[in-house]
A and B are shown apart, each in its own frame.
Chain A
């Protein structure tokens, strides 16, 4: 477990809200002092526009801005020129639906997505398919909360290299996409980690299986819930595009990242037209810059991009592997404790994957509406999310309208879980259940 007591000291929000129990990092994360200071540094020391000025303040700002691009590239094992700054994951995905989708999707083509997507990786593709006459196919989930892409049989690998010299059996489940991916499937777009179920999808295996059926398929990954919590290597995953947000990974709001393979980025339409994305403009025609600048029209969120690298430094200082296992421990502890206290009266969504899930736990409590649960918890300064979490197709699929959701990050600990349980007991009392 991480030293949460020490970590909390880096987050000034805890000083200003002494009893805060923040369990909504899936919506947005809290910010460490180093990130906040970096924002102030830009505004107080070199708040010039980037790229355009030849004076030193502008050069300093440009340099700081571009250093974040380099940092992000290293963070996901990519090249700097493949990193595009957007406003958020939503904009990154919409950019793809527009600039890539409208370039390559034609009538009767197929776009495949999943039922566990956030609306931002669902609606843009639904709209695109309706406009173009393409077919939108949706991968469902199993009752355990996993994507329904696994073969029933297990592949059993014998690995004799166990430390005690024993034969160990390692189960790795085979992916079968034969019923869903075809030669006509041009785009497969899916989330790395479900923002409701916490399910971690086997991206690498899915990419491999999809490209085996159709080598030309383009795979897009929504990594909004993954980038803050686990190490990502885009080359190892074998994906073509990946999107995530700064604000969910300790960075400022207003910055999203889109990574894409360079040759694909070159082929795509620009997204917004205007300043900074052109190379030459004439009365009758315009030439555009090469990626990534082709996709970065107008003055971006300069301060926020600059400060994002401080968030990455912070995550690397703590260590993403440690953060990931800390959250896994916490979510399993929370599951156990909630079940101990409330048994069948607390219904966890996707209960089958507790061992492997990321630090997200969505649930329904008795028959009390999630808004009411969250409201009563808020009286004790416990912040949880209630609603459909921008995943209505998933909620409909599960036969519910809404749910409560708690999520953990590096500044949470078991004490937060116990406070949540105390809060839920209050909810019971208030609603006399």
Chain B
């Protein structure tokens, strides 16, 4: 766990991609991190099975925001079937850092949101 605040994590935290609101999403969801009370909202637009747009907003730590930013970047253009395969290991690889058992919850908050949107 030597350095989890890599350039890429900090970049996504300070300049989150897909941060904002979609006016008429197909579905939207709000999830909360019981560790700190942070909440993330995520909204998605499907064209049949395919994700055409996704956005998120809320407050969070560097890990939860970077994770949401990177995840939303990845899922655009993917199908529901493809998204169902995303798991904890995928998120860890995507972030490229190793997190402890407690802190991993921050990284998985956006995945929880995505699962609820599918």
Contact = CB atoms under 8 A, between A and B. Distances in A.
Contact of B36 (A376, A387, A430, A431): A387
A398 to B, nearest CB: 12
A372 B1 contact: no
Contacts of B62: 369, 371-372
B5 A371 contact: no
A126 to B, nearest CB: 17
A176 interface: no
Interface in B24-81: 35-38, 59-63
A379 interface: yes
A402 B38 contact: yes
A393 to B, nearest CB: 11
A401 interface: yes
A370 interface: yes
Contacts of A378: 1
Among A371, A386, A387, A395, residue most surrounded by chain B Cβ atoms (within 10 Å):
A371
Contact of B61 (A372, A379, A392, A395): A372
A388 B36 contact: yes
Contact of B37 (A376, A379, A392): A392
A370 B5 contact: no
A387 B37 contact: yes
Contacts of A370: 36, 61
How big is the B interface, by class? 10 to 19
A36 B1 CA distance: 30
A375 B36 CA distance: 14
B103 interface: yes
B63 A371 contact: yes
B37 A402 contact: yes
B103 A402 contact: no
Contacts of A395: 37
B11 to A, nearest CB: 11
Contacts of A375: 4-5, 63, 103
25 contacts: A369-B38, A369-B59, A369-B61, A369-B62, A370-B61, A371-B61, A371-B62, A371-B63, A371-B103, A372-B61, A372-B63, A375-B4, A375-B63, A379-B2, A379-B3, A387-B36, A387-B37, A388-B36, A392-B37, A395-B37, A401-B37, A402-B36, A430-B5, A430-B10, A431-B5
The 3 closest A-B pairs by CB, nearest first: A369-B61, A371-B61, A402-B36
Interface of A: 369-372, 375-376, 378-379, 386-388, 392, 395, 401-402, 430-431
